[in-house]
Amino acid sequence: MKCKVCRGPAVIDIRRHNANFCADHFLKYCRDQVSKAIHEFKMATPDERLLIAVSGGKDSLAIWDLLGELGYQADGLYVGLGIGEYSETSGRYARDFADKRDLKLLEIDLRSEYGYDVPTASAATRRVPCSACGMSKRHLFDKAALDGGYDALVTGHNLDDEAAVLYGNVLRWQTDYLARQRPVLPERNGFPRKVKPLIRLSERETAAYCVLRGIDYLVEECPMAAGNKHLAFKESLNAAEQQSPGTKHDFYFSFLRKAADKFIDPEAEPLGVCERCGAPAGSELCSFCRIVEKASNHEPVPVELVNRKYR
């Protein structure tokens, strides 16, 4: 197996591009793909300040590193979700990454700052854990980006993530979600600009990037992810990709090119404002304040109990 560029020994094959790369040219390929995504979708300019949603996993650490390599100024934000040992370990990876590179990592701890954690929120609201978790994270990341005066919030969603979410949304024709599934959501009342610069790289590629760059990341899956539909959608797309390399890329990018705009509803009413925190809200209180109200008065619930009882 030889590198497509220099003919030296290759370390990775990328079937959808029909290409093999040596370590140096693979790292360059990753930088080029991120740079292409940023320019193509006008995600950010080098003079802007970016905030990255950091989980301690491969994708968020890879994009933090890649943005630095490409000359962007990016701080990180880690949210302590209180998911037992998983959260403790993921926080350590995020902190170590930032310390070693002298980068700024902001931190928010759900339990000490808002009086609840994800397992308790799941039990108190009777939502599946990922729903309570996703809502909490979205609110806190948006708020931190706006309060900190950042130009955009960056998330580490990769091609596999976006294709799997698209697949799930299409299976149920969730047109309101399809309208928002774009790699850039412009800033609008109460929301920061949100960008996904990893959309041209697969999960396998961000993992390989971390290994080659010496980035230590949390490999274990979140213990609350079991049974998550997203994982099942990823598996079906992996099977299709195996048969026909490039399927995920074509599925996602053809959607962006040919269909995404058709789902935008020009008559959609803007959201109101949460009475308590001022965030955008569809009713008197935003979803986050509703979670806080229910979960912060609830007795703490351990991870294991949620996995047994509230799925």
Residues that bind ligand Q46 (CB under 6 A): 81, 118, 129-130, 133-134, 222, 224-225
Nearest alpha-carbon partner for 113 in 155, 153, 138, 81: 81
Considering only CA atoms, give the Rg of the chain: 20
Question: Cα(201)–Cα(186) distance, rounded to whole angstroms?
Answer: 22
| CA distance readout (Å), 139 to 55, 96, 184, 281 | 15, 25, 17, 11
Strands 152-154 and 49-54, sheet pairing: parallel
277 binds, among ligand Q46, Zn ion, none (CB under 5 to 8 A by kind): Zn ion
25 binds, among ligand Q46, Zn ion, none (CB under 5 to 8 A by kind): Zn ion
Taking CB under 5 A as the rule, does residue 271 contact Zn ion?
no
Shortest distance, position 130 Cβ to Zn ion, whole Å: 20
Nearer to ligand Q46 among residue 14 and residue 77 (C-beta): 77
Question: Cα(172)–Cα(180) distance, rounded to whole angstroms?
Answer: 15
Nearer to ligand Q46 among residue 25 and residue 157 (C-beta): 157
Phi and psi torsions of 19, nearest 5°: -140, 145
Taking CB under 5 A as the rule, does residue 286 contact Zn ion?
yes
Q: What angle do CA 53, 58, 64 make, to 5 degrees?
A: 50
How many residues bind Zn ion, per CB under 5 A?
Answer: 12
Shortest distance, position 234 Cβ to ligand Q46, whole Å: 13
178 binds, among Zn ion, ligand Q46, none (CB under 5 to 8 A by kind): none
Nearest alpha-carbon partner for 286 in 139, 160, 84: 139
Nearest alpha-carbon partner for 126 in 268, 13, 295, 282: 295
Taking CB under 5 A as the rule, does residue 12 contact Zn ion?
no
> Which x/- pattern over 221-260 shows residues binding Zn ion (rule: CB under 5 A)?
----------------------------------------
The correct pick among 14, 20, 25, 119 for binding Zn ion (CB under 5 A) is 25
Shortest distance, position 118 Cβ to ligand Q46, whole Å: 5
Nearer to Zn ion among residue 121 and residue 165 (C-beta): 121
Taking CB under 5 A as the rule, does residue 292 contact Zn ion?
no
Strands 272-273 and 280-281, sheet pairing: antiparallel
**Which residues, listed in sequence order, are joined to residue 78 by a DSSP beta bridge?**
54, 107
Question: Cα(98)–Cα(107) distance, rounded to whole angstroms?
Answer: 12
22 binds, among Zn ion, ligand Q46, none (CB under 5 to 8 A by kind): Zn ion
Six token digits for residue 79: 């949210």
264 binds, among ligand Q46, Zn ion, none (CB under 5 to 8 A by kind): none
Interface ranges with Zn ion (CB under 5 A)? 3, 5-6, 8, 22, 25, 274, 276-277, 279, 286, 289
